[in-house]
A and B are shown apart, each in its own frame.
Chain A
Amino acid sequence: MDPMVRFQDVHKSFGAVEVLKGITLDVPRGDVVVLVGRSGSGKSTALRCINGLETVNGGELHVCGEKLHDGKTDLRKLRQEVGIVFQSYNLFPHLTVEQNVTLAPRKVMKVGAKEAKELAAHVLAQVGLSEKAQSYPEQLSGGQQQRVAIARSLAMKPKLMLFDEVTSALDPELTGEVLRVIERLAQDGMTMVLVTHEMGFARGVADQIVFMHHGKVWERGGAEMLRAPQTPELQQFVATDL
């Protein structure tokens, strides 16, 4: 079976700065791939390429069987299949939690009002926030807002979920409640690509860990890779984490 995501020698530059210097990487269906690395290593950029938030300059990127960035990719179609959750939640502040969750299903997938409500109830239960349906985002804690953002993405029934440092703005306690939701998704078989600084979490949830350095895939492997790094760069990275 085709992998969900396939990077083949992908290059990306911002002006004169080359951020991705030839990434080759497969994300098999049902797998959880965690990208780790220092700030500026290109891991967020690689993630954002997957749903077309960044365009690639060279190489090939296939997502859900479609080749991206040949200039005629239907981004709206792609984004119905690929959900993304951001570090800064980006909930719509003028809408209730329920409205946040149902907006895209109703307007994009043309789901009826009643069905949308049921859908919202279902995904909010998944993230443990059923009782907050009528609240506004600013009435919620950061962890709760992030869980709503996850529910909002899930409501589109994506085949692939991207998480871009989703716990970096949260304190340890709130980080835990968000990570538990992601773990449950992983157990349910959702294909996911995560960028995170939570090494313990990465070890626990990842089928594959990818260490990025200077815009390249420097080292990759299973969870055990972090315990026995091959390259001095990863050794140093793991050491500073502890």
Chain B
Amino acid sequence: MGYEFDFSFLSEYAPDLWRGVWLTLWMTVVSIVPGFVLGTLCAIGRIYGSPPVRRVATIYVEAIRNTPLVIQVFWLFFGLAVLGARLDAFTAAVIALSINVGAYTAEIMRAGFESIPRGQREAASCLALSGPQRVLYVELPQAVERVYPALVSQFILMMLATSIMSQISAEELTGVAYQIQSFTFRGFEAYLVTAGIYLVLVTMLRLTLHGVALAAFPRRRRLGTPL
């Protein structure tokens, strides 16, 4: 068994890898924000909403968390196309990821809201803050601060989950890696390098989100507690 490791193909495929990296990053960033907003609204809806709102939010969360992401994106991309609603691969991927991460975020944020002591709500209402003001200025910041590490994990899982989007022809990093190995038969090297790139990307995302936390939660910074 004389297998010679050969990474020389890398220079030839560098531009493709680069494009793949950008698409992966872009998909992640574009999905995190709407996913977070959607999930937070859902959490608020499940706690404070009227019974119909609560029911809709619960159905959404349970439907998404109990079905595979790959089926969700297939349904958006291939399923809707049957009905004539044709989405391009990137759009389908971003919508699927947002909706998917939104459902998990909803549960994380719900835990965050529910962990806030009752006295906080009481104090806010007694200062004549309205319901929405109370949620926005008193509860939301505390909820996010409490569950931030869990949110970060969820967003990182989502970044890794973009790797299935090559299944709908979105040429993100994993898609590019698959092509490289099918042209060069260098599966070992190609996937090893790809894994290394994911590691770098995830580390960058983690550091970025840590920076966001430092800016968003000045109290932690002041008290010198590492996040």
Which residues of A approach B to under 8 Å, CB–CB? 51, 53, 75-77, 79-80, 83-84, 86, 88, 90-94, 103-104, 107-108, 136, 138-139, 149, 152-153, 156
Contacts and interface: CB of A to CB of B under 8 A. Distances in A.
B90 to A, nearest CB: 37
A79 B123 CA distance: 11
B223 A53 contact: no
Contacts of B129: 103-104, 107-108
B137 A107 contact: yes
Interface of B: 117, 119-120, 122-130, 133, 137-138, 141-142, 145, 217, 219, 222-223
Nearest to A106: B137
A94 B136 CA distance: 13
A91 B138 CA distance: 10
Contact of B123 (A80, A92, A94, A156): A92
Contacts of A153: 127
A25 B199 CA distance: 70
Nearest to A135: B222
Contacts of A77: 128
A147 B212 CA distance: 33
A149 B222 CA distance: 21
Contact of B130 (A76, A103, A138, A156): A76
Contact of B126 (A53, A91, A93, A103): A53
Contact of B128 (A76, A93, A94): A76
Contacts of B130: 76, 108
Contact of B219 (A76, A79, A88, A93): A93
Per DSSP, are chain B's interface residues mostly helix, strand or loop, or mixed? helix
Most buried by A among B120, B123, B127, B217: B127
A51 B126 contact: yes
Contact of A88 (B119, B141, B217): B119
A80 B133 CA distance: 15
Contacts of A103: 127, 129, 137-138
Given A79-B125, A79-B126, A86-B123, A94 B141 contact: yes
17 contacts: A53-B126, A76-B128, A76-B130, A79-B128, A84-B126, A86-B119, A88-B119, A90-B119, A90-B120, A92-B123, A93-B142, A94-B219, A104-B127, A107-B137, A136-B219, A136-B223, A153-B127
A92 B128 contact: no
B211 to A, nearest CB: 18
B127 A108 contact: yes
Given A86-B122, A103-B137, 4 more contacts: A103-B127, A107-B137, A108-B130, A136-B219
A51 B122 CA distance: 11
B125 A94 contact: no
Contact of A53 (B122, B141, B222): B122
Nearest to B118: A90
Contacts of A152: 127
A139 B137 CA distance: 21
A93 B104 CA distance: 26
